[in-house]
Chains A and B, each alone.
Chain A
Amino acid sequence: MVDPATASRLQFAVTTIVHIVFPVMSMGLAPFLVYFTWKEVRTGESLYERLRRFWTKIFAVSFAVGTVTGLVLEFEFGTNFAAFSAAAGELFGGPLAVEGMMAFFLEATFLGVFVFGRERVSDRLYFVSSLMVGLGTWLSAVWILVANSWMQTPRGFEVARQSGEMTILLTDPIAAYANPRFPWMFVHMQNAAVLSVALFMAGVGAYHVYRRRHLGVVDGGNLDAEFWRATLKVALVALIITAPLQVIHGDAYGRHVAETQPQKFAAMEAVWETDSYVPEYIVAFPTSVDDLLNPRAKDIFGIGIPGGASWLASGGNPQAEITGLEEFEGSPPVAVVFWSFRAMVALGFWFVLLAFWAGYRWWTGELFEDRLLQKALMASSVLGIFGVELGWIVTEVGRQPWVIQGVMKTTEGVSPGLTATEATLTLAGFVGGYAVLLSLYTYVVGRLIRRGPKVEDGESLPDPVRDRAPAPTPTEVSEDD
């Protein structure tokens, strides 16, 4: 049996890590769907209709799974973190309720129109529904991040204690909800979602472009080849815009963390003793196994930029002082934060490189010929989502031991009546259930992608890959029915 606090934390970690995949997919796909719908309505070209239909299917599956896994999270605040919910509900529950009323209804009702209503509503209303779905997904993120940013940099409240029980009272709504952390979180998260989906679409497009060449189909002039090339191009435009932005505001966000959550920043850099002229370790290897679990930037073998971390924290001064972890009460698992941060930053730079590479090839007219680029895009298709996961690990693990920074410890937030048996049972259920859920989702989305856009009756056009028999590698092309 795992103790209730640990089990609850692990369970929440598992459910969030799985859940975030689906909102990232829907938030990131939304602008693409709006664009495809707009082009479809304006030009009437079947290419855009096919793009809209195909990516809407992926959106719909992601939304269905995202809804139910999100509901799990909402319930977990009550089931596993009842002490937190009872104490902070006045500030934290409001944004969640407003998210439901303002964003989730918008998204869910217009998704019904958008998915099923092409034949039933006017072009104008159809386009408006795509906009509303997109707006809903983004507003959803707004309210979740309003709630989350308050936990990171809490403002506008007062703590009252009655017979040992903590109650957090709202005193200044504007300070609480127009939180200084919010804009950084929102911009970084939203851009990350679009970037992740751009990488995903680019990977999918590259896969089909690559496979067609592999099969000796250079250019059939058929719709499917056009479809995948269009997918790849649209995705690359988004990648070229979002990848550099992610690094730019990521840097500013990091500075904000250094100012407002110095403990988290120290964990990100593994700075234990307060020091100035702290280097930024680009590559770092621990000299012993102990350091892997509890890294100290000074003790590890690494390549560092002298003064780099100080420079990042202060926004340009390599001499700046960084407060070390030893000066704070408790500390997060430093290794997790340190390594996740490095992996995230590395991925961020890789995406910029990829964007430049693809942009250059496009400019020289060799986009569909550069097979190494296509392989790189395929290999990077889910790395954006990994980047988001790593970013959230830095954000959420980095603020431990606090659930509300400086106000309430995570262990204090756990439901008092929860037994180890109950908590362990549901934790095991979640690990198993979510593993099944993720594999099913991957299977279904993978299958949709391998089969490509559905060819409707009357518009069936020859597809050299699908129609030609026999397939060269049975495992690769021949799916069931």
Chain B
Amino acid sequence: MTDPLSTGAVGPLASQTVWFGVALSDLWFGVVFAFLAIFLFLDGWDFGVGAIFALRGRTARNATESERRRCEREREQCLAAIGPFWDGNEVWLVVFGGGLFAAFPAVYAALFSRHYLLLFGVLAALVLRGMAPEFYEQREDRRWRTWWGRAFAAGSVGAPFLLGVFAGNWLLGVSGVAPASLGIGLAVVALNVAAGAAFLRLKTTGPLAEAMPDYGVRATAAYLALVSVALVLLALRPAMRDALLSPAPIALVAGSVLLAGGYVVAARRGYPYVTLGAAGGLTGALVSLVAVLLYPVVEPGTGLTVEEAIIGAPAVELLTAGAALLIPLVLTYFGVLYSAFSGPIDPEESY
């Protein structure tokens, strides 16, 4: 199990379950990464809104009262924009964890126990991010709001950064903190800011909404730069260089450059849905890149392949049937939610 080269031959090929021509192990590999991508896009814009909340909501020490009030209002707008959605968006992380646990328990166990402290960092950031908006609203005094605002921003930046580092470490099969992983972490933060800016452009009005294309364009440029650095750092490892130079990764990188261009054009010309879509495409491309570079191995740290790590036949069939029934329902719920709150959201709307 420790030698990645020999594992293909001893994998339990005979017990592989195939539905409609797709091996269920491959299907679940795809599903787990799809959950991750959806999470990183949907909750990613919530994280991005948190970062913008901090950037836009700063006031100078000697700011005028009207300046303070504008900031206060824009912070309310940021919170109102994500208010109805972020709970639902965050569940994609829960199903990513649950899906990985259910389909590839050995991978879940190995990855999570190896990145022990890193994951507790992720949790701490998510706890801050999850509680802060709820607590922020509870009192109106300035000190309370300053502190919960900080907690919200720290969680919103910390969670995607650490998740990016986690994804990088997963890809490399290492447990410490690799420079390439740090690059991926920062890139994810920039990507989320781009998505958050596109989302706020859609969901708010006034000066905040008008400022968003600028934020988004800068974040997208930063994303491209950071991803390039991360790719160079990855390519320093010979095995990874070979993997990167195959058609699928090249196509994904090229696609990302095109999508980033699309984001900038759409943001500048004022097509908010296209802008948001481009941010989604960038997120999908990034997660796909990680998945493509891994496959058919699912945990480089132990060398486990998807075929070796997948659970037994009856269990995986049951899980697949359950997911096939439930995912369309989940998408319906999201349809109801997002259509109920279509258009800009007024900060006054709550409870």
B65 lies within 8 A of chain A by Cβ: no
Alpha-carbon distance between A193 and B315 when the two chains are bound, in angstroms: 32
A125 lies within 8 A of chain B by Cβ: yes
| A69 cross-chain contacts in B, Cβ below 8 A | 127
Given known A67-B87, A82-B110, contact A429–B120 (CB-CB < 8 A)? yes
B114 lies within 8 A of chain A by Cβ: yes
A365 lies within 8 A of chain B by Cβ: no
| A417 cross-chain contacts in B, Cβ below 8 A | 113-114
| A110 cross-chain contacts in B, Cβ below 8 A | 333, 336-337
User: Which residues of A (77-112) have their CB < 8 Å from a CB of B?
Assistant: 77-80, 82-83, 85-94, 96-102, 104-106, 108-112
A466 lies within 8 A of chain B by Cβ: no
| B315 cross-chain contacts in A, Cβ below 8 A | 90-91, 94, 169-170, 173
Query: Are B314 and A79 in contact (CB-based, < 8 A)?
Result: no
User: Which residues of B (69-123) have their CB < 8 Å from a CB of A?
Assistant: 83-85, 87-88, 90-91, 93-95, 97-99, 101-106, 108-117, 119-120, 122-123
| A429 cross-chain contacts in B, Cβ below 8 A | 120, 124
B176 lies within 8 A of chain A by Cβ: no
User: Which residues of B (125-181) have their CB < 8 Å from a CB of A?
Assistant: 126-127, 130-131, 133-135, 138-141
- B39 CB to nearest chain A CB (Å): 11
Partner among B83, B85, B102, B111 whose Cβ is within 8 Å of the Cβ of A96: B102
When C-beta atoms are compared, the residue in chain A nearest to B326 turns out to be: A101
| B109 cross-chain contacts in A, Cβ below 8 A | 78, 82-83, 85-86, 89, 415
Query: Are A113 and B314 in contact (CB-based, < 8 A)?
Result: no
Given known A75-B123, A78-B109, contact A101–B134 (CB-CB < 8 A)? no
Given known A57-B351, A101-B327, A119-B349, contact A426–B116 (CB-CB < 8 A)? yes
- A410 CB to nearest chain B CB (Å): 15
- A222 CB to nearest chain B CB (Å): 22
Query: Are A68 and B83 in contact (CB-based, < 8 A)?
Result: no
Given known A94-B315, A104-B94, contact A116–B349 (CB-CB < 8 A)? yes
Alpha-carbon distance between A344 and B297 when the two chains are bound, in angstroms: 50
Interface residue tally for chain A (C-beta within 8 Å): 77
Query: Are B106 and A86 in contact (CB-based, < 8 A)?
Result: yes
- Bitwise, A26-60 to B at CB < 8 A (1) or not (0) is 00000000000000000000000000010011001
When C-beta atoms are compared, the residue in chain A nearest to B108 turns out to be: A78
A74 lies within 8 A of chain B by Cβ: yes
Q: B215-223, B233-241, B275-283, B316-324: which one contacts chain A?
A: B316-324
Partner among B93, B103, B110 whose Cβ is within 8 Å of the Cβ of A71: B93
- A170 CB to nearest chain B CB (Å): 4
Partner among B101, B135, B333, B340 whose Cβ is within 8 Å of the Cβ of A77: B101
Q: A273-281, A301-309, A385-393, A440-448: which one contacts chain B?
A: A440-448
Alpha-carbon distance between A417 and B311 when the two chains are bound, in angstroms: 23
Partner among A72, A83, A88, A96 whose Cβ is within 8 Å of the Cβ of B127: A72
- B135 CB to nearest chain A CB (Å): 6
| A433 cross-chain contacts in B, Cβ below 8 A | 124, 127
| A108 cross-chain contacts in B, Cβ below 8 A | 87-88, 90-91
Given known A101-B322, A104-B91, contact A116–B102 (CB-CB < 8 A)? no
Query: Are A418 and B116 in contact (CB-based, < 8 A)?
Result: yes
- A34 CB to nearest chain B CB (Å): 17
- B314 CB to nearest chain A CB (Å): 5
Query: Are B314 and A170 in contact (CB-based, < 8 A)?
Result: yes
A477 lies within 8 A of chain B by Cβ: no
Alpha-carbon distance between A115 and B86 when the two chains are bound, in angstroms: 12
- A312 CB to nearest chain B CB (Å): 37
B4 lies within 8 A of chain A by Cβ: no
Query: Are A97 and B99 in contact (CB-based, < 8 A)?
Result: yes
Query: Are A109 and B336 in contact (CB-based, < 8 A)?
Result: yes
B273 lies within 8 A of chain A by Cβ: no
| B139 cross-chain contacts in A, Cβ below 8 A | 447, 480-481
A2 lies within 8 A of chain B by Cβ: no
Given known A94-B319, A425-B117, contact A86–B110 (CB-CB < 8 A)? yes
B312 lies within 8 A of chain A by Cβ: yes
Given known A57-B351, A72-B127, A437-B127, contact A112–B84 (CB-CB < 8 A)? yes
User: Which residues of A (417-473) have their CB < 8 Å from a CB of B?
Assistant: 417-418, 422, 425-426, 429, 433, 437, 440, 444, 447-448
Alpha-carbon distance between A96 and B98 when the two chains are bound, in angstroms: 6
| B134 cross-chain contacts in A, Cβ below 8 A | 60-61, 64-65
Query: Are A98 and B91 in contact (CB-based, < 8 A)?
Result: no
Given known A97-B95, A415-B113, contact A448–B101 (CB-CB < 8 A)? no
| A227 cross-chain contacts in B, Cβ below 8 A | none
- B99 CB to nearest chain A CB (Å): 5
A124 lies within 8 A of chain B by Cβ: no
User: Which residues of A (372-395) have their CB < 8 Å from a CB of B?
Assistant: none
- B2 CB to nearest chain A CB (Å): 12
| A422 cross-chain contacts in B, Cβ below 8 A | 116-117
When C-beta atoms are compared, the residue in chain A nearest to B349 turns out to be: A116
Alpha-carbon distance between A92 and B319 when the two chains are bound, in angstroms: 12
Given known A64-B131, A86-B109, contact A112–B95 (CB-CB < 8 A)? no
**Pairs across A and B, CB under 8 Å, 15 listed:** A57-B351, A78-B112, A82-B109, A85-B101, A86-B106, A89-B105, A92-B105, A105-B95, A113-B340, A116-B84, A117-B341, A118-B351, A120-B349, A125-B336, A415-B116
Task: Give me the interface of B with A, judged by CB distance under 8 Å.
Answer: 83-85, 87-88, 90-91, 93-95, 97-99, 101-106, 108-117, 119-120, 122-124, 126-127, 130-131, 133-135, 138-141, 311-312, 314-315, 318-319, 322-323, 326-327, 329-330, 333-334, 336-337, 340-341, 345, 349-351
Beyond the given pairs A79-B116, A89-B101, A170-B314, 20 more chain A to chain B contacts, judged by CB atoms under 8 angstroms and listed by A's residue number, are A61-B135, A64-B130, A65-B131, A70-B94, A77-B112, A89-B105, A89-B108, A93-B108, A97-B322, A102-B322, A104-B94, A105-B333, A110-B333, A112-B85, A115-B83, A120-B340, A132-B333, A170-B312, A429-B120, A433-B127
What 9 pairs across the A-B complex have the smallest Cβ distances? A89-B105, A78-B112, A112-B84, A93-B102, A97-B98, A82-B109, A82-B113, A93-B101, A97-B102
